[in-house]
Amino acid sequence: MLEDGLGRRVEYLRLSVTDRCDLRCSYCMPPGFKDYEEPGNWLNFDELERLVAVLAGLGVKRIRMTGGEPLLRRNLPELAQRLARLPGVEDLSLSTNGTRLKQNAAALRAAGVTRLNVSLDSLDPERVHKITGRDVLPQILDGLEAARAQSFQVIKINMVVLPEVRDGDIDAMVEYCGARGFVLRFIEMMPVGDTGRRAGYVDLRPLRERLRSRFGLVDGMVPGGGPARYLMSPDGCHRLGFITPISQHFCETCNRVRLSVEGMLYLCLGQEDAVDFRELLRSGCDDEQIAARFRAALQAKPARHEFRERPERVVRFMSSTGG
């Protein structure tokens, strides 16, 4: 069992496979952004498989492939299949914006991906266009239907609640997800990069109580290793999660670390310190050296983020970290 310096069990790796994205969400990446990592610096599939194999042997059992938009990485289902077969990997999931999900859902499911998180902040085409910079709502909805047909264990919709979002937008999303068996998760905006700070923050606690009352919700649980606190209707139709890193941070139970596409291990979204694994992997190291560096890195995992106290601290963008 892996523990950090504060005794928290670490079992969850969010693995960025690309820092590129086909959308330009206003709270994630600035207009005209082109400061991407060179592909030669990306960890290749052999390096990713080897690294995950070592970490799975230490006790990391949940892997989430993320980005950027991970489906922009060529042959991603091949990587998924290689990771899903590794001893110790019990859960392989994917975060996506959904624009390429229709073409990839079947291959991902066959490869061993069991759960999906799909980013969708509104069902209003104009609002989606404004947020993402593209008219992509029909593509995302088609992708969700394709995924639903593949019988993934869980499909979650991630909705960032922005200041301009109205109750009608939220209620429409609740009904949409409930009718299709999707888990809906509301997320507070985090001040990651200038774009995240400019987007504005909405405390989700009043929304949680409003929805609890309107839909007769009770406390519940949904499979996954993330930080959401869940409510659900007694009949199981509505399953709503609330991710509240600002109003009610969950740092004392943090069980995850993030690996960027170029092999930098970030121990907390709220700090810039990172540990380089690309240099180690390409130096001719053995597996024990990888394991030793990971164990040592965990001892430096901070007690909590400082999003409230020092919101300007994180200067990188979310797409370059891995969501």
**SS3 label, residue 216:** coil
User: Is 254 part of any known ligand binding site?
Assistant: yes
The dihedral over CA atoms of 23, 24, 25, 28, expressed in degrees to the nearest 10, equals 120
User: Is 295 part of any known ligand binding site?
Assistant: no
Residue 91 and residue 146: Cα distance in Å, rounded?
21
Residue 185 bridge partners (DSSP): 158, 241
User: Is 68 part of any known ligand binding site?
Assistant: yes
User: Is 256 part of any known ligand binding site?
Assistant: yes
User: Is 293 part of any known ligand binding site?
Assistant: no
Contact (CB, 8 A) for 199 and 26 = yes
Residue 181 and residue 194: Cα distance in Å, rounded?
35
User: Is 27 part of any known ligand binding site?
Assistant: yes
H-state helical runs in the chain:
45-58, 76-84, 101-111, 125-132, 137-148, 167-180, 193-199, 205-215, 278-281, 287-298
User: Is 64 part of any known ligand binding site?
Assistant: yes
How deeply is 58 buried, as exposed, middle or buried, from its count of CB atoms within 10 A (0-12, 13-18, 19+)? middle
Residue 91 bridge partners (DSSP): 62
User: Is 257 part of any known ligand binding site?
Assistant: yes
User: Is 183 part of any known ligand binding site?
Assistant: no
User: Is 197 part of any known ligand binding site?
Assistant: no
User: Is 14 part of any known ligand binding site?
Assistant: yes
Contact (CB, 8 A) for 128 and 122 = yes
User: Is 156 part of any known ligand binding site?
Assistant: yes
User: Is 65 part of any known ligand binding site?
Assistant: no
User: Is 25 part of any known ligand binding site?
Assistant: yes
Q: In this structure, which amino acid lies at residue 243?
A: I
User: Is 258 part of any known ligand binding site?
Assistant: yes
User: Is 177 part of any known ligand binding site?
Assistant: no
User: Is 237 part of any known ligand binding site?
Assistant: no
Residue 219 bridge partners (DSSP): 231
Per the annotation, where are the binding residues for GTP?
Answer: 14, 64, 95, 156, 256-258
Per the annotation, where are the binding residues for [4Fe-4S] cluster?
Answer: 21, 25, 28, 251, 254, 268
Per the annotation, where are the binding residues for S-adenosyl-L-methionine?
Answer: 27, 68, 119, 190
Per the annotation, where are the binding residues?
Answer: 14, 21, 25, 27-28, 64, 68, 95, 119, 156, 190, 251, 254, 256-258, 268
